[in-house]
Amino acid sequence: MNRADPSFGGHPIGGRRTNVRMTRLEVDVSATELRELQETEHERVARWRAEELERAGYELSAAATLAASSGVDLHLAIELLAAGCSEELALQILL
């Protein structure tokens, strides 16, 4: 075993070993990155919901409002317009 080999935790120059433990900063950064990924996923879902609502016939602002409200049933929102409900009434029902 060559202690200078990086695959064994060594440094290729001088045979020094590197510290394989993560520092507090690295852990904090990793947690921040995880939150950003989760937020990105939430934003992606909201954008998809808004697109679906626009496709169903909602105006841009109404679609964005409904999409951002996680408690709104997307299928019900679409069905209301398909059944002839006005956008205004659908918003009153859903929100």
Would you say how long the chain is, in residues?
A: 95
Please say if the pLDDT value at position 12 is more than 80: no
Distance CA 72, CA 31 (A): 30
* pLDDT classification of 86: cutoffs 50, 70, 90: very high
- Tell me if the pTM is above 0.85: no
Please say if the pLDDT value at position 21 is more than 90: no
* pLDDT classification of 31: cutoffs 50, 70, 90: confident
Tokens (6 digits) for 87 = 């956008």
Residues paired with residue 17 on neighbouring β-strands, in sequence order = 10
